[in-house]
Amino acid sequence: MFRLKLLSLLVFFLAIANTTLALASDTDKEKRWADQTVDSLLVGEAEWLEAEGQKFLGIYTEELSGTPKGGVIILHGIGVHPNWEDVIYPLRTELPNYGWATLSIQMPILANEAELKDYIPLIKEAAPRIKAAQAFLKSKDVTPVVLIAHSLGATMASATLAETGDMGFIGFAAIGMSSSDLDPQLDTTAQIAKLKLPILDLYGSRDLDTVLASATPRAAAARKVDNDKYRQLEIEGADHFFVGLEDELVTRVRGWLEQLTK
């Protein structure tokens, strides 16, 4: 009987341990991405940030115009890294030419086969990383700061801002942001209704169905709370990754940034 109870307890604690691990970012995959990224980095400097005792990679690029305008924290999409060639790399390397220092950070990730629903528990891990990025830019005397995020990164950013407030950001640019009623953490439409800061909701006319289907409800949510600083913009011909339209992406984001600081 004692052995049976002991075995039951062991199974119970192993289940808890496995659940806990399942809720956390895949740090081994983060390390593999970091090793590959740092070795191939041509623009910007690798910086190791820390959130809740865990180190993660950031790529910092100083502004290059000679006329500093502020800083941008950039969040990538599902399962990738802060130097991802689509959306992330064009923004983090081009915006410094126009006065914006950029800090692109590694977001929580899971194995390649993970689905969107598997990421729901990881959304809570976004806030500490964003705060660590803010602290880094503050140490560099970079101000004001804007948050720019793509795809799942935009969902993580939206959920974080809806829960914590604007966090001191002067604006939030969401690129290719979808919305889902699968879980409140994924319901960016409801989250937008809680946000008062300036928002750029940018997507492509050939974007994912989940992005396109929620575009009208997202705009309606902003109107419902009278956020006259919300702007939705569809880029004709662009897919979810703005392939072939990287210059257009940078131009649109840069134009919005200019309006923020006028």
* DSSP structure string for 36-86: HHHHH--SSEEEEEEETTEEEEEEEE---SSS--EEEEEE--TT--TT-TT
pLDDT band at 262 (very low <50, low <70, confident <90, very high): confident
- What SS3 class is residue 226? coil
pLDDT tens-digit series, residues 20-35: 334 589 999 999 999 9
Q: Considering only residues 13 and 26, tell me which one the structure prediction assigns the higher pLDDT.
A: 26
Nearest to 187 by CA among 200, 177, 196: 177
pLDDT band at 15 (very low <50, low <70, confident <90, very high): very low
pLDDT for residue 4: 38
**Distance of alpha carbon 49 from alpha carbon 119, whole angstroms:** 22
pTM to 2 decimal places: 0.90
By the 8 A CB rule, do 41 and 71 touch?
no
Nearest to 73 by CA among 177, 144, 151, 2: 144
Q: Please report where in the chains the tokens 């439409």 appear, as a residue.
A: 189
Average pLDDT over residues 207-234: 97
Average pLDDT over residues 79-89: 96
pLDDT at 5 over 60: no
For 50-208, where are the alpha helices, taking DSSP H only?
88-94, 126-139, 152-164, 188-192
Residue ranges and CATH numbers for the domains of the chain are: 2-260 (3.40.50.1820)
